[in-house]
Amino acid sequence: MPNATKVLLLSRSFIPWRVQVGCGALILLSFAVLGSVEAESLSKEEQIHVDRAIDAGVGFLKRSQGSNGGWAGPKEKHQLGYAVLPGLTLLECGAPANSPAIRRVAILVRRASTNLVATYELSLCILFLDRLGDPKDRELIQTLAVRLIAGQTETGGWTYACPLVTKKTRDEMLILLRKLDPPEAMDAVARARLDPPGGTPTRSGSSDSPSKDTRSPKPPLQGTSTGKTSATPKGGVFELPDPPETTKPSPSSAKPAKPDEKEKPVVLPRHLKNLPVFRHDLELPRRVPRGKGDVPTVTDNSNTQFAILGLWAAQRYDVPARRTMQLMVRRFENSQNKDGSWSYRYRFGGRVEGEPAMTCVGLLGLAVGSGIARQPRDEGEPKPALNPRIVNGLSALSKNVGKTTGTWRNLPMENTYYLWSLERVGVLYGLPVIGDRDWYRWGAEILVANQQQRGFWISTEYPGSSPIIDTCMALLFLKRANFTADLSKKLNIKPEELNATIIRTKASLSPGESMNKEKP
């Protein structure tokens, strides 16, 4: 039993209850002195429960795959999404890249990518191809990534669809981004942006917030589940035009400047200069002004998190995504709620009710900000682990992790989308526990207790839920899948130090300061 837990139990035994209430914060603060709370490893018997659940879930996915390589029914609009997420999950669960199931998914991805514009599917395809590890997919990954870059809005986030980008425009964008953002010239995103979350003013002084969206407040996971088709303009998929001159060299053939040769200023062509990634407005994202005919694009943090994951992986294939990431990081800095959480929609300054899964997205975004900061870190710059935005976000998240029971049966089901988001944050920051909550044991108990006889899971707490999608999310949780392992290394975080800070922060907040009720 962890030392801090023993102290808490002893305090309950010998201190009158009235004193316990008054001293609750003091006891929590003592955790940092006695050592951070540690997660107990699963026993051999408990690990067997988890391994059996994984094997049964993998068996269900393998049995359910269709002859065309996907998992969708004949009327499902998102055939590719229903192939690539299970394919990625099977790879994470140890399926060989040359296995028949994975080969069928790979064929489907390569064939269907020509006109692919859905944000979810673009991102998942990048993750799948990256995990597959075939060198011949390098150019395809670059193409999909540039579509994501072109699809980013001025709020720093993404909506359901991105523009098609021709090969010529793709090559031009890659060359321009490499010239604009050489690694040694990048600003540290995490530095100088540590002001308190919520209500951060802009120099523009605009007080208008993004327009209200008349669609469903929580659209389904496009590309990975049932639901509406991705939104595209009337007339079909929108497309960036080709550059006027078609003699531009390809990214691989561009010659670097000689040491004594002065670098020419980068001139942005007209057909690209309005893309947010090429804009120099340091106030983006911001409150979007509304005028006649000026309707801001509605984005959400669910689409945005998949775009982040896809673009982070695409950087391994010489895709310069730093400018895109910088704008994305500002989105989460400018929209964090007072209690540290984030909501589904972007709202400048926050001040809306947070959601646990979206809080995980915000923490992913802030981690990226620390990961792309200039190295080595400047003297006096706060460590990523002590970034108050990250600490407040993790403190808010810890309130949505329940207590473990040790029963592994007869437990209420939890939202698998949230569980996967929680798992991703836990492994990204290297935290065995978040605050005083053992997030992995809590989730594993729930999943083992609720697995169906045929090996799948059912969660109805998010739009677009289905046995295939829920099973993928559950398996990714149980396998502790980490799509950003290289980002984890860049953070250089000491879990004990970070968790002690989370506990102190959580104890210092009164119940009225948090919009998230703590799970029992």
Q: Would you place residue 401 in the very low, low, confident or very high pLDDT band (cuts 50, 70, 90)?
A: very high
Q: What is the H or E stretch that residue 361 is in?
A: helix 356-371
Residue with tokens 């200069």: 273
- The answer on 120 and 22 residing in a single domain is no
In a domain, 20, yes or no: yes
Q: What is the pLDDT of residues 279-327, one digit of tens each?
A: 866 556 655 544 444 445 689 999 999 999 999 999 999 999 999 999 9
Is the pLDDT confidence value at 250 over 60? no
122: left (phi over 0), alpha (psi -120 to 50) or beta: alpha
pLDDT for the residue 40 = 74
Quick: pLDDT tens for 411-470.
999 999 999 999 999 999 999 999 989 999 999 999 999 999 999 999 977 777 899 999
- H helices of 133-228, in order, are 138-151, 167-180
> Which pLDDT belongs to residue 266?
74
Kindly report the CATH number assigned to the domain that includes residue 57.
1.50.10.20
Q: What is the pLDDT of residue 292?
A: 41
In the predicted structure, residue 8 carries a pLDDT above the cut 90: no
In the structure encoding, which two tokens stand for residue 93, read together?
Answer: 């669960």
Place of tokens 């982070």: 312
- 361, 345 Cβ separation under 8 angstroms: no
> Are 180 and 308 in the same domain?
yes
Question: Which tops the pLDDT comparison, 91 or 351?
Answer: 91
CB atoms within 10 A of CB 22: 10
| pLDDT, mean of residues 477-488 | 95
% of residues, the chain, pLDDT over 70: 68
- Mean pLDDT computed over 53-78: 91
Mean of per-residue pLDDT scores for the chain: 77
Task: Examine residue 396 and state whether it is found in any structural domain, yes or no.
Answer: yes
Answer yes or no: do 45 and 135 share one domain. Answer: yes
pLDDT of residue 353: 87
Give pLDDT, residue 64.
95
Residue 213 in this model has a pLDDT that exceeds 60: no
Query: What pLDDT score was predicted for residue 403?
Result: 94
Give residue 39's pLDDT. Answer: 67
Q: Phi and psi at residue 493, in whole multiples of 5°?
A: -95, 140
Residues 373 and 494 in one domain: yes
Q: Could you tell me if 170 and 55 lie in one domain?
A: yes
pLDDT interval class at 328 (50, 70, 90): very high
Burial class of residue 186 (count of CB atoms within 10 Å of its CB; 0-12, 13-18, 19+): middle
Taking only the tens place, the pLDDT of each residue in 140-190 is 999 999 999 999 998 999 999 999 998 999 999 999 999 887 654 333 333
Q: pLDDT class for 339, splitting at 50, 70, 90?
A: very high
For residue range 493-502, list pLDDT tens digits in order.
888 888 888 8
Give residue 253's pLDDT.
45
Whether 158 contacts 223, CB under 8 Å: no
Judge whether 210 lies within some domain.
no
Q: Pull the structure tokens for residue 380.
A: 């006096």
Residue 280 lies in a domain: no
Q: Examine the domain organization and report whether 196 and 232 are in the same domain.
A: yes
Q: Which residue has the tokens 């193409």?
A: 143
- pLDDT score for 509: 55
Same domain, yes or no: 180 and 227: yes
Q: What is the biggest distance separating any 2 CA atoms in the chain, rounded to whole angstroms?
A: 81
Beta-carbon-side half-sphere exposure of residue 409 (alpha carbons within 13 Å): 2
Nearby residues of 377 by Cβ (< 8 Å), 6 or more positions away: 188, 383
The answer to whether position 93 is within a domain reads yes
Tell me the C-alpha distance between 138 and 308, whole Å.
Answer: 18
Instruction: Please count the structural domains in the chain.
Output: 2
Which stretch, 28-32, 75-79, 91-95, has highest mean pLDDT? Answer: 91-95
Q: Residue 239: is its pLDDT beyond 70? A: no
Q: How confident is the model at residue 273 (pLDDT cuts 50, 70, 90)?
A: confident
Residue type, 79: Q
- pLDDT for 240 equals 67
Helix (H/G/I), strand (E/B), else coil: 239: strand
| Per-residue pLDDT, 351 | 81
Q: Report the pLDDT value the prediction gives residue 281, as an integer from 0 to 100.
A: 62
Most confident region among 208-217, 229-238, 282-291 by mean pLDDT: 282-291
pLDDT for 440: 97
DSSP run (H or E) holding 260: none
Which one-letter amino acid corresponds to residue 10? L
Q: Is the pLDDT of residue 132 over 60?
A: yes
423, burial (CB in 10 Å: exposed 0-12, middle 13-18, buried 19+): buried
Query: Does 85 lie in the same domain as 13?
Result: no
261 in a domain, yes or no? no
Question: Per the structure block, which two tokens stand in for 137?
Answer: 């997919």
Assess if residue 376 is contained within a domain.
yes
Shared-domain flag, residues 200 and 226: yes
Digit-coded pLDDT (tens) for 373-391: 644 444 555 555 478 999 9
Q: What is the pLDDT of residue 320?
A: 94
Does residue 230 fall inside a structural domain? yes
pLDDT on residue 217:
37
Note whether 22 and 100 are same-domain residues: no
- How far is it, in rounded angstroms, from Cα 119 to Cα 136? 23
Q: Please indicate, yes or no, whether the overall pTM of this predicted structure exceeds 0.85.
A: no
Domain shared by 21 and 45, yes or no:
no
384 residue type, one letter: P
Span 83-101, mean pLDDT?
A: 97
CB 62 within 8 A of CB 69: no
If asked whether residues 391 and 507 sit together in one domain, one would say yes
Q: Which domain holds residue 14?
A: 1-35
Own/partner pairs for 40-44, CB < 8 Å, 24+ apart?
40/1, 40/2, 40/438, 40/441, 42/441, 42/444
253 burial level (CB within 10 Å; 0-12, 13-18, 19+): exposed
- Of the chain, the percentage scoring pLDDT greater than 90 comes to 53
pLDDT at 308: 98
